[in-house]
Amino acid sequence: MREAYHVELDNLADRLSGMSSQVADAMERATRALLDSDLKLAEQVISDDVKVDDARADCEEKAYALLALQAPVATDLRIVVAALHAAESLERMGDLALHVAKAARRRHPDPVLPEQVRAAFAKMGEVDVRLARKAEEVIRTKDVEAARSIEADDDEVDDIHRNLFSVIMDKDWPHGVATAVDVTLLGRFYERYADHAVSVARRIVFVVTGRMPGYTGSDV
């Protein structure tokens, strides 16, 4: 029975790593759609989002079944609880990629981004996809050091995001209010995507160590 139970835990981790791969693909395609005004890619991201939603529902169903039927304790309980939180974060990452794709579709055939911010979004997209790929690996390996390294990559996205504000707030910004709003919202989508990848990584650290990163309370 215990062997079968641990097979179920491994299957749950496999589902989560699969979700991470899905949302990495989604953001990669959404960024290409945004930069290239590629309507076909944007539509693919939009239509595929339901698969991410279904994957979350499947993960949650499996996790709740394990809680109800197996009454896990200690590390096993941490795995199940972390899986519930991670599935939620991964679904949000898929939703954020969806928002990027919808922006590309809404403005098509016109480009969404002015030339002066394209490089910033290309870089944020690259880092976001790298974060999701790392999260996929961390879920499979439970490598704590790799999980912690994700926060350093998130800092890079934060820096680019902050710099975008200085660009659009410059008095010489020539692209008008509508474009400034688009850039602001899109920048937020990329920044939040990275934050959710960090959240997934922190859950893996919690599984392995029993503590969330940054916890400062005393033992009881």
- DSSP SS3 for 183: helix
Q: Residue holding tokens 């650290």?
A: 205
At residue 216, the pLDDT reads 41
- Give the residue carrying structure tokens 């996929």: 136
Whether residue 2 has pLDDT greater than 70: no
Does the pLDDT at position 147 exceed 60?
A: yes
Q: What is the pLDDT of residue 69?
A: 82
Kindly report the backbone phi and psi dihedral angles of residue 178, in degrees, each rounded to the nearest multiple of 5, phi listed first.
-60, -45
pLDDT digits (tens, 9 = 90+) for 14-35: 999 999 999 999 999 999 999 9
- pLDDT tens by residue, 59-95: 999 999 998 888 788 888 999 999 999 999 999 999 9
Residue 204 and residue 135: Cα distance in Å, rounded?
A: 9
Rounded Cα gap, residues 133 and 65, in angstroms: 28
pLDDT, position 215:
46
pLDDT of residue 213: 77
pLDDT above 70 coverage of the chain, percent: 96
For the chain, the domains span 2-209
Q: Quick one: pLDDT at residue 88?
A: 97
Name the fold adopted by 2-209.
Methane Monooxygenase Hydroxylase; Chain G, domain 1 (1.20.58)
Task: Give the pLDDT confidence score for residue 185 in this predicted structure.
Answer: 97
DSSP string for 54-69? HHHHHHHHHHHHHHHH
